[in-house]
Amino acid sequence: MTDGALEVIARLGDIAGRYDAIFCDVWGVVHDGVAKNPDAEVALIEARASGPRVVLLTNSPRPAAGVRDQLDALGVSHDAYDAIVTSGDATRALISAGPRAIFHIGAARDRDLFEGLDLEFRDEASAEVVVATGLFHDETETPDDYRALLAALAARGLPMICANPDIVVHRGERLIYCAGAIATAYGELGQVVHLAGKPHAPIYDVAKARLQRTEAKILCIGDGMFTDVKGANGIAADCLFIADGIHRDELVVAGGDPAHLLGELAARGLTARYVQPALR
């Protein structure tokens, strides 16, 4: 956690040796959906060399293998991480424990989330549960396009499983809505929404299991205040907040000043120990 000050660090390597494990966000830290961050890649490689295991922890609705393929396509070295844990990995357990007849909200590329599960894909009129992995067409749609569909699902009282709690991410310079935006709108209709990704406990339980040790001092790295920072606070881990990520426009008033940034976090009931503009 923090002693009340937000420390600006020049390099991850300056602090990595203090930890047994690093849980590092992916989208917005390691890449922006279009290109990798070479400085972040080097930082994670150097961090692993100093001792801690690096687990890439992402709210992607896809299982780890799909995220690894994406990282490979962007040229991210396997030397930058030991394991990948996704919201999709944690969400599969929720899906397995629920009804078989599902209505899927999301792109076809997310269907690998369901591989190997005994499910029936139904339309909104006959499904027993909704699984949201994103928007059908996230380049062109917004949550407003789903008002009628969500109202119809809510009228049937269907529970929703959200495979990605993120509201938005940057894809290059554009903001793209994620499944969390759909889940938020559905929850506002008074409906039950189950989430397994950051900041919720299931994804951290899966990540800790990858460490194969009962006790570990963990550093969480991420740019999402309500996912990465809140999740770190929830497991009592130190947090390195990446300030020029998803909240960069919102936090421009802080001018990069650590005291002001800490105040912005505190105003949201959050705290962090370290800060960098971007991971390096």
Q: Is residue 107 part of a domain?
A: yes
Strands of 80-124, DSSP E: 83-86, 101-105, 120-121
pLDDT at 115 over 50: yes
Alpha-carbon span 108 to 61, nearest angstrom: 12
**Residue 113 sits in the same domain as residue 184:** yes
**Residue 115 sits in the same domain as residue 238:** no
**Residue 143 sits in the same domain as residue 205:** no
Are 16 and 50 a contacting pair, CB within 8 Å?
A: yes
pLDDT digits (tens, 9 = 90+) for 122-177: 999 999 999 999 999 999 999 999 999 999 999 999 999 999 999 998 888 888 99
- For residues 27-44, give the mean pLDDT: 95
Alpha-carbon span 233 to 269, nearest angstrom: 10
Residue 126: exposed, middle, or buried by beta-carbon count in 10 A (0-12, 13-18, 19+)? exposed
Q: Which percentage of the chain shows pLDDT scores above 90?
A: 85
Provide the pLDDT for residue 170. 83
**Residue 177 sits in the same domain as residue 258:** no
Q: Which two tokens stand for residue 187?
A: 């929850």
Number of domains in the chain: 2
In angstroms, how far is CA 233 from the centroid of its own chain?
15
Q: Is residue 2 part of a domain?
A: no
Q: Is residue 1 part of a domain?
A: no
Q: What is the CATH number of the domain that holds 224?
A: 3.40.50.1000
- For residues 2-20, give the mean pLDDT: 89
Domain that holds residue 54: 7-88+198-276
Q: Is residue 220 part of a domain?
A: yes
